[in-house]
Chains A and B, each alone.
Chain A
Amino acid sequence: MANQIPLVEYLELGDQPHLKAHECTSCGARYFDRRNACAGCSGTEFTPVVVPDEGVVKAFSIVTFAAPGVPVPFVSAIIDCGGTSVRGNVINCEPSPEVVHLGMPVRLATYVLGTDDNGVEAIGFGYEPAN
């Protein structure tokens, strides 16, 4: 396998790629970014948790007009992964309102985003139809 790096640190690669979050040990709030403290309770202790790979689309937009350098169209979505909200693209299906719908079951999928001058592959993630 080529040398790989995830698009973001909260994507954990390996045999079964998955998303991980920082969970506040005091109130259970989950975050994907580096934290100073918890926005919910100001607690400062976090534990790593694995986010479920499957979820349902609870909001989406089919983006046909974006900033320069952002390839369109793409489907931006918010996925409810067992109670944890995740932002990601809906991938591996046609970006049309006839195909993508609210409540659609999806699961995590990864893809190669590109290779840098050192031969390292960046791995991105999205959510593909689960049925």
Chain B
Amino acid sequence: MSDDIWILGITMTKFGKHPDKDTVDLAAEAAMGALRDGGVTMKDMGLLAAGCLMQSNAGIGQQLQKQIGQTGIPVYNVANACATGATALRTAIMAVKSGEVDMGLAVGVEKLAGAGLLGGGGTPKSDKKEWSPSGRYGAVTNTDGRIGAASMPAVFAQVGMEYGHKYGGTSFELFAKIAEKNHAHSTLNPLAAYTKRMTLEEIMNDVMIAYPNTRSMCSANCDGAAAAVVVSDAKLKTLSLEQQRRAIKVKASVLTSDPYEEGCQVLPNVNTLTKNAARIAYEKAGVGPEDLDLVELHDCFATAELVHYDNLGLCEEGGAADFFLSGATWRDGKTPVNVSGGLESKGHPIAATGIANIWEVCHHLRGEAGDRQIEGAKVGLAHVIGLGSACGVHILEKSGL
């Protein structure tokens, strides 16, 4: 008996605006979809791991159970920034791997349409204006905008610019071209929030949010959910041939946080924890970046996608700009990246993202991706990063049956 873990069923809802559905509606749609996709029911589940970052103290897991099945199983409500979905999935994988249960359900959901700018700002001081130091920096007032920026578009702009400072080759136009690719890819994805192709000119002339990121180079806030059923190898062997054929092997499931390095508490270092997660994942999976047929990586901003080409080892160190300009990451290139449209165009309902990107990879590995199918895809990688920081990397492989 092997200790392999498989994804038996997986689904995502349409990403976009769902004004007539609440978070539990969306979570239920995804969870029931994943169970149906796997040919199982809530009664088969040994645990539920669930995340909804914006309502992280609301017990989304139990709320979901109240609607789709209160079977008394343990619920793990998780919150791990933009890696919340990947953390929920990894929680289910760890539980199955431990042998405590043979099947688990992971769900990520978010209602984020119209949420606007994330990060930054702060609480206003009292009515009487009196400078009074508070907090760990002894600040007398909000520092966002006075000591650099706390908003996500600006933080990740600096991440991309730092890469440019270190290695050269970056420009506003280069970053915009990455968004051009992802918006083009999304035209083939009916579940993406935005499916409109945008020209480079439209992207560069869009509203500037935090140079060099214009609005269409930022992840799209939207509503959505995704869910996955994971199963042990032993249990899978008892299921139907069709279930076994469609099951996707989890070759590696890795979660890391950011190790201390100079400057990492000044500008978050999103690089080292991603490099660490990728290295561990490749070792566990016994594959290298050259074996990947597609990659879904965390393009929360166009400036972020570039650095992760390097962090995931898709290119040589320092070579991300040349690698992108070679066309390698377009859907017909050597290593297609974000053929779903990525967070910039498919959308980024935070806690759903870390399972939705795995659904995208599974969809291709199963040969079910329709118009956007990457032909012959056998191995794929999904990556998310949440500031703070948490990085999830999963490597997936199609069934040999």
Cβ contacts A38-75/B at 8 Å (1 or 0 each) = 11100000000000000001111111111111111010
CB pair B147 A7 closer than 8 Å: yes
A61 touches B210 (CB 8 A): yes
Number of interface residues of A (CB under 8 A): 54
A130 within 8 A of B: no
Interface string of A83-121 (1 = CB under 8 A from B): 111111100000001000011000000000110111010
Q: Which residue of B lies closest to A71 (CB)?
A: B145
Question: A63-B210, A64-B208, A78-B158 are known contacts. Are A70 and B144 too (CB-CB below 8 A)?
Answer: yes
Give, as a whole number of angstroms, the nearest-CB distance from A67 to chain B: 3
* Shortest beta-carbon distance from B340 to chain A in Å: 26
Asked if residues B262 and A88 are in contact (CB atoms below 8 Å), the reply is no
Asked if B141 is at the interface of the complex by the 8 Å CB criterion, the answer is: yes
Number of contact residues on B: which range applies? Answer: 35 or more
B142 an interface residue at 8 Å Cβ cutoff?
A: yes
Which one, A38, A62, A65, A85, contacts B267 given CB within 8 A? A85
Minimum C-beta distance from B117 to chain A (A): 6
B262: chain A residues within 8 A (beta carbon):
29-30, 83-85
B156's nearest neighbour on chain A, judged by CB, is A61
Chain B residues near A64: list those with CB within 8 A. 208-211
Binding-face segment, B120-128, B242-250, B284-292, B353-361: B120-128
Q: SS class of chain B's interface: helix, strand, loop or mixed?
A: loop
Give the contacting residue for B158; candidates A30, A39, A61, A72; CB below 8 A.
A61
Contact B120 A66 (CB under 8 A): yes
Kindly state the separation between the CA atoms of A68 and B122 in the bound complex, as whole angstroms: 9
B147 close to A61 (CB less than 8 A): no
Pair B260/A9 contact, Cβ less than 8 Å: no
A86 touches B266 (CB 8 A): yes
A5, A9, A58, A77: the one contacting B148 at CB < 8 Å is A77
* Further contacts, 8 of them, CB under 8 A, given A5-B140, A29-B262, A85-B263: A7-B139, A63-B210, A69-B142, A70-B120, A76-B154, A87-B147, A88-B147, A122-B141
Seen from chain A, the residues whose Cβ lies within 8 Å of a Cβ on chain B are 5-10, 29-34, 38-40, 57-72, 74, 76-78, 83-89, 97, 102-103, 113-114, 116-118, 120, 122, 124-125
